[in-house]
Amino acid sequence: MSATTLTEAPVGKYFRIYDLQSTPEICHRLRELGFYENAIIRCMSNSESHLICEVCNTRFGLNEHIAKGIFIVPFN
């Protein structure tokens, strides 16, 4: 299984969150918001400094630093 970061996700495709790698505080907060392992996520918009994604039927704007710590795999 080849995991990649959320920053590398093509817009409009669905993925499964594989792992979160950041400080314990950020990982805890992301899980509270629905960014937990095995959750389905879709990248809605991606630019150099931030991206918009959808998880748990909610859209979130994330900065590049946070998005690089969210590892995803293709959703089958």
pLDDT of res. 58: 95
33-48: burial string, b at 16+ Cβ within 10 Å, e else: ebbeeebebbbeebee
pLDDT of res. 1: 62
Question: Which fold is adopted by the domain 4-74?
Answer: SH3 type barrels. (2.30.30)
User: What are the tens digits of pLDDT across the range 2-61?
Assistant: 899 999 999 999 999 999 999 999 999 999 999 999 999 999 998 877 899 999 999 999
pTM: 0.92
